[in-house]
Structure 1
Amino acid sequence: MKKAKVVLVFAAWIAVIGMIIIILGFSSQNGLDSVSTSETIVDKIISFLNLDDVLTKNEVLMENRNYLFRKAMHFTEYFILALLAFNALRFVRLNKAKASVFAMLIACSTAVIDELYQRTIPGRNPQILDVFIDSAGALAAVLICSFLLERM
């Protein structure tokens, strides 16, 4: 294998590992810190997008904004993880089907491990719904990658 390709493969796997570390890092926050952090972020996003009036008029959305944001972040984190894993697997010349399966295995395994890990963090509880949301994010990424490869 040429040196440049080795560097690319290495960098691709470092990105996968880095994303897993980021995911587990978020899970390492205790429950109160995690909720506080996400509330701060979601309120800044709402202000930045000038959506304060929209949310004020929709009481249900306003009350659940942090919950919805947290679930959207679950989806997004695992979407990114699956994209990175699919990319790394394609660098080692796996075909589209195998790369899809292994990217899903990496993402879904990480989701399960992440939820089990949260059992050890004060104020955190594992939730099967989160594993499903995480898996849906990974599946969306794999489907998009597969679709794009079909077009190439």
Structure 2
Amino acid sequence: MLKKHWISFILVILVIFFIWDNSLQNDISSDSLSLMITQQVSPILYKLGITGDIWSLNRIVRKMAHVFEFAILGGCLYVALHQFNREYAGLKVIAIGFFIAFFDECLQLTSIGRNASIRDVAIDTAGVIIGVAIVQVILSIYRCIRHK
């Protein structure tokens, strides 16, 4: 059972490294990757009614990537902490997620052509909250099914 607990913490560490690795990319590398993804998903965005030039869509994709990667972090971190201490686990995860997001923005200051943004810290923290909420819903459904 203890091995299972460590796996969740290793997963959290890998997600954090992934996030921070993205922040350490220079502006050209970061823009190239996000533009490539934007070009791939733009037909889907258009069908959803989200329109604009490629640069506007790229900005949306970049912000959604922040939400997505931090939602994964929030979910994984919640699972990891919830195994050991359930009391206020969600609030602890949100606080930890906020500090990881803040440090992430500070890391971007060390990358050529990148800058830091309080707005991105808020977007990242919102992603953490979404990840925690999703895992809490999944755990609640699991508990209901298990008790029936």
Query: TM-score, structure 1 length as denominator?
Result: 0.83
2:64 to 67, 72, 83: 72
Is the Cα–Cα contact under 8 Å of residues 30 and 124 in structure 1 kept in the other structure?
A: yes
Matched, 1:17 2:30: no
Relative to 1, partners in 2 of residues 1:118 and 1:58: Cα closer, same or farther, differing over 3 Å? closer
**Which residues of 2 match residues 1-152 of structure 1 at below 5 A?**
5-46=1-42, 51=43, 54=46, 60=52, 62-92=54-84, 94-95=85-86, 97-151=87-141, 152=143
d(CA) in 1 for partners of 2:65 and 2:97? Answer: 14
Whole-angstrom distance in 2 between the partners of 1:105 and 1:54: 36
Task: Count how many residue pairs are aligned between Structure 1 and Structure 2.
Answer: 141
Aligned counterparts of 1:121 and 1:52: Cα–Cα separation in 2: 31
| Percent of matched pairs sharing the same residue | 29
Unpaired runs of 5+ residues, structure 1, are none
CA contact (8 A) 2:108 2:115 kept: yes
Aligned 8 A contact 1:82 1:106 in 2? no
Question: CA 1:20 to 1:53, structure 2 compared with 1: closer, same or farther past 3 Å?
Answer: closer
- Give the residue type in structure 1 aligned to 2:135: C
Kept in 1, the 8 Å contact 2:45–2:51? The answer is no
AA at the equivalent of 2:116 = P
Residue by residue over 1:53-96, the C-alpha shift from the partner in whole angstroms, topping out at 9 and shown as x without a partner, is: 948x976354411000000000001100000000001222x22x
